[in-house]
Amino acid sequence: MNCLTMKSHITQVFPSALRKSLTAVLYVVLWLVLGLCSLHALALDTITATVDKNPAMADESITLTVVANDSMQRNDFDPSILENDFKVIRTSVSSQTQIINLTRSVTTTWTTILFPRRTGRLRIPAITINSISSDPIDVLVVPVSQQSQQETRDIFITAEVTPQDAYVQQQLTYTVKLHLAVELERGSLQVPTISGAVMEQLGEDSEATTIQNGKRYRVVTRQYSVIPQTSGELTLPSPIFEGNIRTRNRGSFGGLFNPSKPVNQIGPEVTISVLPIPEGFTGSWLPSEFVQINEEWSSALDKLTVGEPITRTITLSVLGVDESVLPGFPDRLPPSIKAYPDQPQITSVNKDGTLIAQRVENIALVPSRAGTFVLPEISIPWFNTLTQQTEFAKLPAQSITVQPNAASSAPAQTPLPSQPSTAEPANVAEPSLKQSAEQTLSQVPENGSQQVWIWQILTAVLALAWAVHVWYLRKYSVTTASEQQSQAAHNAQKDNEKTVFKHLLDALKQQNSAQLDNLLRDWLNCWYPARPRLTQYTQIICDQSFSEWVASYYESRYGSAESDQQAQVLRQQLTQWVVEHRKALQQKTAHHLQPLYPDT
């Protein structure tokens, strides 16, 4: 009974309402039957695997296409089973659904880009999904001949490394060249990372045009610095190019919309031998073809003075190493010379494909006493990779002579004021007293010892009295003139000290560290003999807190970079010290300097 006969029978037997319900149920049953048939048709029963080329060149990509006639998950196909013979670059998945005569079909396609690991006959094993397997595929991989590469290839990659043998931590130059004889629409050149080595691109890509066997190539060159970290064999992975090129088919629109074709190309692997550190080498390992060390001084060495800093700049330049292996400089110095090194400046530059690493240190040296001192030799051992010998980059020992500071070595001398004219009679009268005494003694009669003895006493008393009188006249006149001049000088010094002290406090409040050194010395000059360096004031002030502050100040100035917090602490300490020290100096001065005309 077909569907039409069943429908006629239902019309004759059942009433109208019931007839409609039975018809709806019939259609539902029919659709369920058709759905079951479709599901049965979608059951996975076939997997096919194909490649786009066979045979294939060793540097060409092979596209493996796996098709399953069912809706599958992305991870149902695992391309890692191909890793033994092929490099798996990437895998993409697509799905397609078709309905023909009420029959739905679904296919899932995996597209995998492969590069052969070696030449010869390689097998793509059977691909198995849900117990359904494809047939295995044998692929013939032929080597790339020099003739085929130069004459028939539109795209190829070359790679080389220099030198072929190297030591641990010695720079290698890895050069990759992409040759293109077709128009490139887009593309990227990738070099995988290397385990056991530090790899870094040197500069930007360069381009050139060359003609080989009558064929014009656009050549893109890229260089890498490779620094092995361990000894043994080191394999540089194959560089890979992925892109799209324009095809030569002109198409229906006269080439206005030329289609593009994806291309994948791989370069050769390069294996080198990395030598270990020679057993006889001592010191920090530094392999290179050229090492140089030199120094510069901020001023002549024959002009060194106690307390005055001089800057020594030492520069170490090494060819073909990473900046991280540059050694530091020894800091052996005589105890009387303090060193305040800056942070070292460590850089590296690329020059013609070779790294040049450089370490620069600025060291402020401050001699604390006069004398002759020897700065020891600086010797940096390095291994010459050309001669296979250990060599030394040296700064020879040198003798320096530190002169005493002129201001600190000369005693403080305060010139006495010239004697006023009122004291001149005393100076003239003093010889007259001596002449009178001599005349008196010469006139003593010799006829009696008693008379001689009396005259000697009288003469001595007279001479003593006259000497006391002359001393009093001189003392009074000199003291009066000196006090007048001292008072005038004191008043001028007091006014100048107030001005300088105000400028010093203003600089401290305004955090003007640049003028701090000069203003502090100007203020100290108002109270003490002038000194060119702050370190020399510590020898005459003899204040422990001030000496510690000066040491911290010089360390901050000539040592590491001064932080804002450190500068603020130094300013606070100095402010407290100058205020307290000024009070002490004022009290001491007031005690010793009496009024010129005291009240009676």
Q: Is the pLDDT of residue 587 over 50?
A: yes
Residue 421 pLDDT: 40
> Phi, psi (5° rounding) for residue 269?
-75, 150
What is the tens place of the pLDDT at every residue in 473-510?
A: 565 555 554 455 555 555 656 777 888 888 888 888 87
Residue 447 pLDDT: 45
For residues 345-349, give the mean pLDDT. Answer: 93
DSSP string, 486-536: HHHHHHHHHHHHHHHHHHHHHHHHTT-GGGHHHHHHHHHHTTS---SSHHH
Domains of the chain, CATH where assigned: 47-142 (2.60.40), 146-275 (2.60.40), 287-406 (2.60.40), 426-592 (no CATH)
Residue 485 pLDDT: 54
For residues 531-540, give the mean pLDDT. Answer: 70
Q: Is the pLDDT of residue 520 over 80?
A: yes
Residue 76 pLDDT: 85
Kindly report each contact of residues 209-218 with a partner whose C-beta sits within 8 Å and lies 24 or more positions away, as own/partner: 212/150, 213/150, 213/151, 215/150, 215/151, 215/181, 216/181, 217/179, 217/180, 217/181, 218/179, 218/180, 218/181, 218/184
Give the C-alpha separation, 375 to 396, whole Å: 9
For residues 570-595, give the mean pLDDT. Answer: 78
Q: Identify the band that residue 352 occupies on the pLDDT scale cut at 50, 70 and 90.
A: confident
pTM of the model: 0.60
Inter-axis angle of helices 516-525 and 449-509, to 10 degrees?
160
For residues 113-140, give the mean pLDDT. Answer: 88
For residue 387, what is the DSSP state?
T
Helix/strand/coil percentages in the chain, nearest 5: 35, 35, 30
> Phi, psi (5° rounding) for residue 105?
-130, 140
Residue 52 tokens, joined? 């786009």
Q: Of 141, 134, 44, nearest to 81 (Cα)?
A: 134
How do strand 47-51 and strand 62-68 relate by DSSP bridges?
Answer: antiparallel
Residue 68 pLDDT: 86
For residues 140-158, give the mean pLDDT. Answer: 74
Q: Is the pLDDT of residue 172 over 90?
A: yes
Q: How far, CA to CA in Å, does 152 sit from each of 56, 156, 175, 181, 216?
A: 14, 10, 23, 10, 12
Q: How far, CA to CA in Å, does 354 sit from each of 127, 163, 224, 404, 583?
A: 48, 12, 10, 49, 65
Give the C-alpha separation, 470 to 428, whole Å: 10
Least confident stretch, 23-32, 83-92, 540-549: 23-32
Q: Is the pLDDT of residue 252 over 80?
A: no
How do strand 270-275 and strand 165-167 relate by DSSP bridges?
Answer: parallel
Which is more confidently placed, 416 or 134? 134
What is the tens place of the pLDDT at every residue in 407-455?
A: 554 444 434 344 444 334 334 334 443 444 344 334 434 444 444 455 5
Residue 504 pLDDT: 84
Residue 384 pLDDT: 94
Q: Is the pLDDT of residue 2 over 70?
A: no
Give the C-alpha separation, 556 to 574, whole Å: 14
Q: Of 250, 204, 543, 221, nearest to 350 (Cα)?
A: 204
